[in-house]
Structure 1
């Protein structure tokens, strides 16, 4: 597998050797063999070397949630869409919403996201194989499993990169998901309950992700198991707690590594560790007036009307609405922005608010936004558990769980009787309601596309609720998976044209 193993692996060997050379003195270097001549076993089998490698992996994995990459997978859903100017400027990127002919194996936007992930998987596989300690192996296993899970959900069957049993062609999803489960089971067994370094996952993170994998695994794999999901959720839930105020989750002036966070990508408002997401989530009309207003940006990803309006109907008092979505674009000095540069009315339509970093106000360009990017947090897991309980026929328990935790917090800690989900809610009604509740709670946090795929609503909801997809009218069932990039097919001897996802 040339791109995944040979070319991309060499990058990480060079990275490790250069990093190690920077850490030793000249005298130490002269007294030892050159590090560039180390064997693979010496590079990966030494604990300090491996710690250095895995530290780099955390940064590379985190950077798949940085800049435009943080928002690409949100596009083309019933939750997020591109701004009008973005659609006009970039036909390749526009295809992520339009599902037209430009969504094809030559789509460079999607190829870029595919290519960002495989070097991390390849190096993690080396770390898993050669690790001298179970804890380091567990860290690498967690990273590999997390990225494999994302790739399998969004691209379908993928290779299995395991040095003990390499399978470099696309493998059945049943095998891929079992491999992911195996990695996470090892991680959950060997990771500690807490970590001083917040970049490093804990036992709870592995257990939470295991539960999600059992819940999200395609039914055809035979691995979807709602009871196992609940069991893993129950192992980790007692170790976390919802914070009282939803708004504090996204206030960058506070310590965001709270009791609710299971795993988050660590960013700050200093380059190169800024996440840059506000640059793409904010309003161009604001940016045209003042580049140091913290909610400016360039309209790459906006909430759909379904997200910013429809799901909030009848939800009076839900504090999450004003925290999640910006409706008012009045600048801090009282000026009112006007649509000037592009003529696109959506520049002043509601925008996502979660990625704003008020620390930049009047000090830095909004490009320096740098709040945490959540991967796993307790509210998500509680909603996942409730959904699993409903699928198991325990709808009453599911209703109580949602009412007493996530919805109660949304209403300031005490859920008004008028906003409580009624005890007589049917299983089908709950299944529909929980998807809207997940959007209210988790909008733009990266789970919506997967939620639509796993529940079988992907085409139905996107066609109806995403304005660009609705206008184009070309979305089909096969679009639930992205195309395998043509560059991968050309460079990888084990993936051929006939291995492409159907429809492309």
Structure 2
């Protein structure tokens, strides 16, 4: 795997061993300087932010029952279209998948060196958290990966039974040594490591030997008392407010200024709006749109749920009163529901929507509360799970209190809860990047996508092996430890 692995090598394995003393001396000169190492780790966090910038943030959600590509986007790029179609173009040469692999792979080796050379526990914890978070994404999207550890390198793809414990060790160290708060919001605090540990124990596949709902809940219980839900759901996405609120455990920090802008709205907004006025904050080019299930079916009977209006735009009337019509593409979905979560009203009339710069959430309290409720349900405490959801996430969604019709019944069965919580996570966390992983860990990947994603349904080729993306062919060609026969099954 990782071309990043080869950055820890010098020519060949034997040459690497022969040259190690000189290489180590050079690295010690570079990494032994605490100021330089601090700057390097900070820069790696900026690189990680790039995985949520531009199209990349939306690639995390495409091809699910929640998000699908717009009709014009499907026509323009077969590699990108394959993320929804699950057809033959989703293969080792796919440039879209390769790009996402590369953005993450290039972070791992420097992060590993940061862990090794860090002169104090805080810096080491920051590097360890980053290595763990990126490894978690790699193993979730691509399956077995090398273990990049300066002290114990394991070249080639390692079994997930080894990868997940390695990630856990990094996060345990981070949870112990990260501070409770960070002045620089780019850097994670203790709660982020604890929350991610809880996620690992839930998202690790059963055959990893790691999944453990009791341990996950224990970590969630460490996190929950230190954060609070903000009263108004819509305020989470209001860029005129301080988005680093009491609910945020970790967020990718963006501003509506060049280089720090996230650019996501450019791809998530509506083309007809963009055609009328490029400085209208909800314009864009329809890369990722809500599926009908997300913008319609999941809200049936929930007229009082404030999250629908806050999450979905259905009115495309410009602030000056103009009403856009169909664009030159003739694609009707360009005026169907769009996500509002990346809109940045600060750009209105001032800057192109490309300069959208709201925070991109990675971990927030509502997600952790819903996950704890899942743990309770899986451990046989369904009534307690229902009460937790009703009293927190759903209460906020319905303005603070729930009517009898809006509250989930405490007599719900365990299986009913499993179904309902998946819809609730969609309503709460739509377009925030967790849906694909949620579908895989709950065993709903093929059935929900086949039924609810129109492009996957039309193609009819999605299979269970598609839960992993293919290892890029460039990696197979360049990495002597990854051979064609090491490719993920099905590709």
Is 2:291 aligned against 1:314? Answer: no
Residue matched to 2:5: 5
Kept after mapping to 1: 8 A contact 2:281/2:348: yes
Which residue of structure 1 lines up, in the alignment, with residue 414 of structure 2? Answer: 427
State the Cα distance separating 1:47 from its structure 2 match.
1.3
Deviation at 1:5, TM superposition (A): 2.9
Segments of structure 2 that go 5 or more residues without pairing to the other structure are 11-22
Kindly indicate whether the alpha-carbon contact (under 8 Å) linking 1:110 and 1:482 is maintained by their aligned counterparts in 2: yes
Q: Residue 277 of structure 1: which of 264, 274, 278 is its match?
A: 264
> Partner residue of 1:375?
362
* TM-score, normalised via structure 1 length: 0.94
Q: Give secondary structure in 2 for the equivalent of 1:334.
A: coil
1:482 paired to 2:443: no
Q: 1:448 Cα shift?
A: 0.2
For residues 260-296 of structure 1, the C-alpha deviation after alignment (integer angstroms, 9 at most, x for no partner) is 0000000000010000000000000110111000000
**Equivalent of 2:212 in 217, 225, 234:** 225
Counterpart in the other structure of 1:455: 442
Please state how far the C-alpha of 1:7 moved relative to its aligned partner: 4.5
1:162 aligned to 141, 149, 162, which one? Answer: 149
| Shift in Å, 1:73 | 1.7
Q: What number of residue pairs does the alignment pair up?
A: 479
Correspondence for 1:190 = 177
CA contact (8 A) 1:395 1:430 kept: yes
1 CA distance for matches of 2:223 and 2:332?
45
Distance 2:24 2:410 in 1: 68
Deviations 1:2-42 (A, max 9, x none): 821344999xxxxxxxxxxxxxxxxxxxxxxxxx9981012
Deviant stretches of 4+, over 6 Å = none
- Residue 103 of structure 1 is matched in structure 2 by 90
- Whether the aligned pair in 2 keeps the contact of 1:2 and 1:491 (CA below 8 Å) is no
Residue 332 (structure 1) shift? 0.5
Q: Distance in 2 between matches of 1:9 and 1:282?
A: 44
Residues in 1 aligned to 2:341 and 2:225: alpha-carbon distance in whole angstroms? 27
Residue 313 of structure 2 is aligned to residue 330 of structure 1: no
SS in 2 for 1:417: coil
Structure 1 residue 119, shift from structure 2 partner: 1.3
* Residue of structure 1 aligned with 2:347, choices 360, 368, 371: 360
CA distance in 2, matches of 1:37, 1:161: 16
Aligned residue among 140, 147, 166 for 1:153: 140
* 1:127 correspondence with 2:123: no
Using the alignment, how far apart are the partners of 2:241 and 2:327 within structure 1?
Answer: 35
Mapping of 1:6-405 within 5 angstroms?
Answer: 6-7=6-7, 39-405=26-392
Q: CA deviation at 1:426?
A: 0.3
2:452 matched to 1:465? yes
Q: CA deviation at 1:112?
A: 0.5
Three-state SS of the structure 2 residue aligned to 1:169 is strand
What secondary structure is seen at the aligned counterpart in 1 of 2:242? coil
SS at match of 1:153: helix
Q: Is the 8 A contact 1:269 1:371 kept in 2?
A: yes
Secondary structure of the residue that 2:394 maps to in structure 1? Answer: helix
CA deviation vs aligned residue, 1:226-277 (integer Å, no higher than 9, x gap) = 0000000101110000000000000000000000000000000001000000
**Equivalent-residue separation in structure 1 for 2:297 and 2:377 (angstroms):** 24
C-alpha distance in 2, partners of 1:93/1:9?
33
**Structure 2 contact 2–105 (Cα < 8 Å) conserved:** no
Q: Deviations over 1:56-113 (max 9, x none)?
A: 0111000110000111121000000000000011111100000111000000000000
Name the structure 2 match of 1:24: none
- Structure 2 counterpart SS, 1:142: helix
8 Å CA contact 1:76–1:98 kept in 2: the answer is yes
In the TM superposition, residue 418 of structure 1 has moved relative to its aligned partner by 1.0
CA contact (8 A) 1:302 1:352 kept: yes
In structure 2, the CA distance between the partners of 1:38 and 1:359, relative to structure 1 (3 Å rule), is farther
The answer to whether the 8 Å contact 1:449/1:458 transfers is yes
Q: Report Cα offsets for 1:288-327 as digits up to 9, x if no partner.
A: 1110000000000000000000100011200000110101
Partner of 2:481: 494
